[in-house]
């Protein structure tokens, strides 16, 4: 079996980093094959929590080219010293500790990992509007960024639309807020749902992604209806 201490550490090994058009601009991403291996090994990926600072450092150390590893460690020396010192100061909000895998996938702007984790019933309840805009990291003095082109808002929108209709049927069944019309009724519906607005309101408390205005104002993802049916 997998020990509790191993589960606390396994999340930081699931990420990779690679340069984009130059070494100054990189992409930190959750590796989908690692998720699949973890699930096959019996790890509950819903319970995994990730420290993004540890994940970034581990991704740099695992990069195959020594030149890039040394360059990135030099670029982030001050950042790592601030985070890993004995009395660390406050972190940037996007780099706060104990993030779920779905939160990390959304902040990295990964649509494929977001879809996989949402279907696995992972949650991202601590998302804020600031998490959906701007790069994940931007150096104060140098032109160094991480995930500056990440599709964070699009990933959050996908997760929201995949999970927003997940619990309505269960709520209606538990509350008994449904009825079956008479045979000679003019309506052709087999079941009539009562208090539909209330059902939707109650379901928002169980959403994997909070209904932020930045998410609700975006159009539904392409193929959402089919994706929801498959989820």
pTM here is 0.81
pLDDT in tens, 14-41: 999 988 777 678 899 999 999 999 999 8
pLDDT in tens, 59-76: 999 988 888 888 888 878
126 vs 143: CA distance, rounded Å: 29
> What DSSP element (H or E) covers 29?
strand 25-30
Q: What is the pLDDT of residue 200?
A: 83
Is residue 57 within 8 A of residue 64, CB to CB? The reply is no
Give the DSSP letter string of 116-164: HHHHTT---TT--GGGGSS-SEE-SSSS-EESTT--HHHHHHHHHHHHT
Q: Is the pLDDT of residue 180 over 90?
A: no
**Mean pLDDT estimate for the chain:** 82
Tell me the chain's radius of gyration from C-alpha atoms: 21
Cα separations in angstroms, 203 against 116, 216, 218: 21, 15, 20
């Amino acid at each position: 079996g997998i020990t509790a201490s191993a589960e606390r550490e396994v999340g930081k090994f699931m990420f990779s980093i690679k340069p984009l058009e130059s070494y100054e601009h990189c992409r930190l991403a959750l590796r989908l094959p690692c998720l699949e291996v973890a699930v096959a090994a019996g790890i509950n990926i819903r319970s995994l929590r990730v420290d993004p600072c540890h994940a970034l450092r581990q991704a740099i150390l695992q990069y195959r080219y020594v030149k890039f590893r040394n360059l990135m460690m030099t670029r982030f020396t001050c950042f790592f010293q601030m985070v890993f010192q004995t009395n660390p100061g406050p972190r940037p909000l996007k780099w706060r500790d104990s993030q779920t895998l779905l939160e990390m996938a959304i902040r990295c702007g990964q649509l494929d990992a977001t879809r996989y984790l949402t279907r696995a019933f992972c949650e991202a309840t601590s998302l804020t509007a600031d998490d959906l805009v701007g790069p994940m990291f931007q150096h104060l003095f140098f032109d160094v960024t991480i995930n500056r082109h990440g599709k964070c808002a699009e990933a959050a929108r996908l997760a929201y639309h995949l999970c927003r209709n997940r619990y309505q049927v269960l709520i209606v069944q538990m509350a008994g807020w449904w009825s079956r019309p008479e045979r000679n009724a003019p309506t052709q519906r087999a079941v009539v749902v009562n208090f539909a607005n209330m059902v939707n309101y109650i379901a928002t408390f169980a959403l994997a992604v909070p209904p932020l205005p930045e998410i609700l104002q975006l159009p539904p993802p392409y193929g959402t209806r089919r994706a929801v049916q498959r989820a």
